[in-house]
Amino acid sequence: MVEINNQRKAFLDMLAWSEGTDNGRQKNQKSWL
């Protein structure tokens, strides 16, 4: 389960980097969590 969470976090970080905004990152985290 920890491995999946790490992969998910890395995926969210990638999305946040592509979005380039903290607001986008928070929105993605809510939808995935």
Residue 32's nearest CA partner among 20, 16, 18 is 16
- Is there a catalytic annotation at residue 19? yes
- Single out the catalytic residue among 5, 13, 14, 19: 19
Yes or no: say if 28 and 8 are a contact pair by the CB < 8 Å rule. Answer: no
Q: How far is the C-alpha of 22 from the C-alpha of 28, rounded, in Å?
A: 10
Task: Show which residues are catalytic.
Answer: 19
